[in-house]
Amino acid sequence: MHIKRLHTCCTLLKERPTNLKGKKHSSQLWLTRQLKDPYVEKAKKENYRCRSAFKLLEINERHNILSPGMIVIDCGAAPGSWTQVAVKLTNSNGSQENKPIGSVFSIDRQLFHQVEGAHILGNSDFTSLETHRKLRDLLNGKLVDLVMSDMAPNASGVRDIDHEVIITLAYSALKFALQFSKPGSTFLTKIWDGGKSSQLEEDLCKFYNKVKVVRPDATRDDSHEMYFLAREFKGLKAG
């Protein structure tokens, strides 16, 4: 199945719209929701590219998955808000004196603006062998502490179909994580809740010692979005 992946971060509004007349109803709802969303304004003030940064910040505050010196891969990274958070918390830009310097690698099919302190692999599919080769060259034999994914496909509006597609995408991210992660590492992926969530959780438990569902407060109330946080990767047996 070919899945068009789309980072679901909403572009931050630079100016408040003064006239919604003539716009489609769906556009009016989106603009109104953006204006009422405190995380949108907060993201602008703190120079994050979109509000999703606060989801990762909250997950880290609760579960401490990012720290200086870590090697992190951000799958489906555009426009880069999770990468911004990872750079700050791993100290990959060297801004924290006397603390280990980490590395952040950000992959997306789209080209997107550089984030200081991150290695950007734009115009790249994280499932392709060519991207794997480039990444292994950059890692220079090292394995990864955290693979994270805030990716989601374009929504059709049919909940069961959308759920099935994002689950397929989460499995793709998991397969990627298994190839690049060191024993004891962490995997974080977004899904939309539905009937296949339990099977994914069971499969995660085959490879990780601890798996839990997390739903940050920054997630919108009307969203079915949640995250699986899998910790303590068991490693892959040779053979």
Could you write out the three-class secondary structure of 152-164? EECCCCCHHHHHH
At 32, is the pLDDT very low, low, confident or very high (cuts 50, 70, 90)?
very low
Q: Which listed residue (190, 210, 234, 237) is catalytic?
A: 190
The yes-or-no answer on residue 55 being catalytic is no
What would the pLDDT profile of 67-80 be if each residue is shown by its tens digit? 999 999 999 999 99
- Is the pLDDT confidence value at 107 over 90? yes
- What's the pLDDT at 3? 42
From 132, 151, 15, 138, select the one nearest 81 (Cα to Cα): 151
- What's the pLDDT at 136? 98
5-233 CATH fold:
Rossmann fold (3.40.50)
At 221, is the pLDDT very low, low, confident or very high (cuts 50, 70, 90)?
confident
- What's the pLDDT at 45? 63
At 51, is the pLDDT very low, low, confident or very high (cuts 50, 70, 90)?
confident
- What's the pLDDT at 219? 82
Reported pTM: 0.84
Residues 6+ apart with CB under 8 A from 89: 60, 66, 67, 68
Helix (H, G, I), strand (E, B) or coil at 125: coil
Return mean pLDDT, the chain.
Answer: 86
